[in-house]
Amino acid sequence: MKLMSVKIGDFTAENNVFLAPLAGYTNYAFRRLCKGYGAGLCYTEMVSAKGLKYGSENTEELLYTDEYEGVAAAQIFGSDPDIMRAACENEKLAPFPIVDINMGCPVPKIYKNGEGSALLENPALAEKIVKECVKSGKIVTVKFRIGVRENEYITKEFAKRMEGAGASLLTVHGRTRDKMYAGEVHFEEIAAAKNAVDIPVIANGGVFSDADAENLLKKTGADGVMVARAALFDPQIFCELTGKERESKLATFEKQLKWTGQVCDERFTTVFMRKMAAFYVKGERGAAAFKERLFQAASPSEVLAIAKEIWK
């Protein structure tokens, strides 16, 4: 795909291939890994604005970063404009110049609480949230879906309102909330958002290869693409999209395990890396047997030993 830099407020991403915020996965180690493989910008897992306000220990873990990772964007969610602004001003977000507001999460718990994709049904509140967050001095971006229900699209008008409220970039997931993470990606709706605003628009949905990325850009006219689930199975998809040289799967796994272990305890590292190994091994010969052994591993060293058998 055609690479180009993307200006987001006063920050410039080196290329237009971004890593999506993925709940439970885009922690420090995974973001650092994908950045090294070519991702122009990586997003944290979505963080609760209320969690920041009340000092949740889990929230602090989600926001760990250091100089080795480079610039990343923090994604927050919530529905109270004042609490959202306070989150942007929280010292835990100080290392992140960009704050993305989640207006697309389809999970029932989030939706029923008036957060995530529920904000698509309350554009006036969504606007107020963005305006308040902009007052914090952060670069504010918004990630949203094309609507809550199929054939009830709000994309164009919502994009215009977010731009008017002060957003510096929009990411549009080309599915409605009721489709969750499956189903057709509506290219024409992402294109409608792109044609309605003057700020950059990133297209999200269905990118599993360079051909997918090229098709998405061609049909939407978007300024870039965001990679989500495909990165879980192969973080080196960013090499494919940006022209970087790939390395062995074992090298990828060893880096991720090492960096995860540097910031997380042994129990978390073991459980998390077992999950990642299960993603990496999908489709390989003997995968089922290896997964069975992986999920019996009791330490990071045991997980690594099994990984070395898989990818000799």
Total-model pTM: 0.95
Can 105 be counted among the known catalytic residues?
A: yes
Residue 133, token pair as written in the block:
């967050």
pLDDT tens sequence across 119-140: 999 999 999 999 999 999 999 9
Question: What domains are there in the chain, each with its CATH number?
Answer: 6-242 (3.20.20.70), 249-310 (no CATH)
* SS3 track for 90-107: CHHHCCCCEEEEEECCCC
Of the chain, the percentage scoring pLDDT greater than 70 comes to 100
Active-site residue (options: 105, 133, 239, 264) = 105
Here the contacts of 114-120 (C-beta below 8 Å, separation 24 or greater) are 114/79, 115/77, 115/78, 115/79, 116/77, 117/144, 117/145, 117/148, 117/177, 118/79, 118/148, 119/79, 119/144, 120/144, 120/145, 120/147, 120/148, 120/154, 120/158, 120/177
Distance CA 141, CA 7 (A): 12
Please give the Cα distance from 116 to 79 (Å, whole number). Answer: 8
Worst-scoring range by mean pLDDT, 124-138, 171-185, 200-214, 227-241? Answer: 171-185
Residue 148's identity, in one-letter code, is V
On the 0-12 / 13-18 / 19+ scale of CB atoms within 10 A, 115 is buried
Residue 56 has pLDDT above 90, yes or no: no
Identify the DSSP state of 74. Answer: E
pLDDT in tens, 266-295: 999 999 999 999 999 988 888 888 889 988
Find residue 169's DSSP bridge partners.
Answer: 141
CA distance 195 to 201: 9
Would the pLDDT of 95 be above 80? Answer: yes
